[in-house]
Chain A
Amino acid sequence: MIQIKNLNVTYEAMGEGYTALENINLELGAGKTCAIIGPSGCGKSTLLKVLAGIIKKYEGVVEINGQPITPMKQKIGFIPQNYGLLPWKNVYENIRLSAKIKNKKDSDHSRELDFFVQQLGLAGLEGRYPGELSGGQQQRVALARSFLLKPDLLLMDEPFSALDAMTREEIQNVFLDVWRKYSVSTILVTHYVEEALYLGQKIVILSGIPGSISTIIDNPLFGIDDIRNHQDFFQLSLALRKMIKEDWSK
């Protein structure tokens, strides 16, 4: 269970104070997914960084299972926009890194690791370096790295936006497959309405500067097979689009 209560984030730049996030309240049940959608500069990434434990200066309550965010104690997987792979480590070492840092004592994850390599279609690529992989393959590696931990919370910052349309759909399905097996609480940031509809059980619409939540929608279409080709999907995405447009032009 992820709980955010009265979250305010301010930061200072050039001697002036800015409010990045204002009065954010959000609750996410364990093992659920949540898509955050919002215009650029509305503080989406800031929100993720707070949840990732990267930004530590904030007001309000941010808790995972009743515990304040502490990267040392909890398992938090964070996939930044560029996938965050280390270019000097090959696929195998990159995936192993999360387990290496997290469980220093029992560091034998080789069987699980092999399983995830298979699961995410990375077999045969273990020895390659990120520079030799396509964007989609890099994203698979990043997913494998995060899922290997079976994290308490998985955070993804525009995870699929750099991929071409076909690869994006494919990786979205890969993500959903693995997510169904492990039901990891996931929060992802996106600027695609369709992506939010496809991957988010909850859809949070952020607006304006400073960033605040304008609507939270419980997505009725989540998890239905082949939903992307249904009429409902088109209609809901159109409605959502309209809502967002009105909301952001305020």
Chain B
Amino acid sequence: MSIVVENLTKTYGKQNAVDHISFKINSGEIVGFLGPNGAGKTTTMKILTCYLPPTSGKAFVNDLDVEEKSIEVRRQIGYLPEHNPLYTDMYVKEYLMFAASVYHLPNKVQRVNEMIALTGLEVEQRKKIGQLSKGYRQRVGLAQAMIHDPSVLILDEPTSGLDPNQIVEIRNLIINIGKHKTVLLSTHIMQEVEAMCSHVMIVNKGRIVANGKPSELKQQFSAGASLQVTFNAVLNDYQLQKLSEYGTVTHIGGSTYSIISQSDDEKLKSSTFQFAVDNGLMLTEMKLIEHSLEDIFKNVTQ
């Protein structure tokens, strides 16, 4: 186990930012940490990186207690905090050399060059950090987090504020890194989670409300089937009533309707087809609507 959290609680005054959460993360997994703003994601990450102590509960990174073995834990973690704070008056190489020297790496220059190559900073390596665009700054942030080759990476919103191309680049970078390391990342972008993460945790008001593989969550939270059908004509009241016997019907527009049913996909499809035949209608389109993570997110956090 790379990360183990047991009954972790963090209180600010009277507010419970993190409320008795427990989870485990296996090594080599990329885990998406989701939740609305203020749900407790950042606080959990700050506890795991030894920045804040928990009010109660325990957290372990590679079997080391974050409170008792703080320095040891920090040595094994790479952390990219929210908003990616950097020393803007330092040069890219200078900053990475500083990061490397903090970890007392034996071959600093070589390691810095490797990180520059890995994060694609070659062109910008001689600039001051303050002169870089947001995407490149993010790469510098990732490079400093990975310079000591940590086994666990904790990334707080690594792609926020980037343009779509940069998001894809950073995402690919993380997927590459995640092949060999444990990555815990927080984000608001659901496609990102689906594209990168092998495991998802959704937190709301300091508690974990969903935890599992993306496919498992979809199954767990989407009981029944949902179908979108288009007929060759608009349904009359009688037909509408007839169709409603199979499930909840919503008129989407034109001659398109959605049907949500408690039965399974196949059954709903065949009964809808049978309905069209019985009523002399033609089906011009029929598609199964999958519950996206976004729907699940909305469901569990509202």
**Do A and B bind?**
no
List the interface of chain A (C-beta within 8 A of B): none
B residues sitting closer than 8 Å to A (CB atoms) are: none
